[in-house]
Amino acid sequence: MIWQMRKSIRPINLRRIIELASIAIDEGKITENLVSKKLNTSQKQARELLRELSRMNLLKVELEYFIPTEKSREILYYYERENWEGIHNFLFMNYDFYNIFITKLSKGPPRLKDELLNELSHIEDIVYNNTAIDILCDWAERLGQVQRNLYNNKYYLLRKEEITHQHFLKVIEECYSNLNVKTRPGIKIIYVEIARLRELVCEYLKIKRDIFDKFLEHLFLKNIGRMELSGAPLTTSAKKSPTSLKFLERGEKENILSPQYKTIREGRGLEVNGKLYHYIGIFGKLG
């Protein structure tokens, strides 16, 4: 079975990658017809899925069959343990589209999809289009290795190294000041949304939202009197973000392993000592 490898990415989501690897391991060898029946897709879609997994080194071709490689077992091992970083690293090492995308994202400031597309459109031998960027951004975000500012939709690769208290303190004061804009001359809003502050600080430092929460809670408890947290009325916009967080979860154990997609459109506040806060005000120099 011989085909001309296309340079453009075929539409495929993480769920299909896991499902197809699962089918291949269970069956031992698979065909387009079998995949079409198992996944309820057209023959054309089944063919494209099989070819794309071959490019990821998850399948190899023997006569008219597609045979799972040991890498299929590897990616399912990560999935079963909900090791999303393991799947991210696997794709980075085995799939050229993802490798180039992540490498580009690791350099320079956070970018919008259009900016990434413009940079990647000049890559030789590989075609990046809007569909490819949508797919790769979705993969990286759901695998928890890339975050997106929910207010400006800029993507950034999360840093590996730890940050210091002083670094966090400097950035949060700068970001708070940027958000604490004047509504009219001489008057500032004082309290800003924690959800909005979180997105700005995380983008600047390229850190996970949970790390922001840990540092902010510590900072608040250390600066009571100079920092104040406040709740919010039920109808406040602070409880809803303009775009959704994207997650991946392991599905229930069935005949075919299939991850579940989850989205949350919620402006996360900060929980301290069992109480949830949505606004922050700073009234003095923090330490």
* Residues 6+ away with beta carbon under 8 Å from 70: none
DSSP state of 158: P
Residue 13's nearest CA partner among 260, 278, 287, 181 is 260
Alpha carbons 286 and 159: distance in angstroms, whole number: 25
Banded pLDDT at 2 (limits 50, 70, 90): very low
Q: What tens digit of pLDDT does each residue of 54-110 get?
A: 999 999 999 889 999 999 999 999 999 999 999 999 999 999 999 999 999 999 999
Q: Which residue has the higher pLDDT, 285 or 221?
A: 221
Q: Which amino acid is at 278?
A: H
Give the global pTM.
0.86
Q: Which amino acid is at 236?
A: T
HEC profile of 220-248 = HHHCECCEEEECCCCCCHHHCCCCCEEEE
Query: What are the structural domains, with CATH classification, of the chain?
Result: 1-82 (1.10.10.10), 84-156 (1.10.10), 165-282 (no CATH)
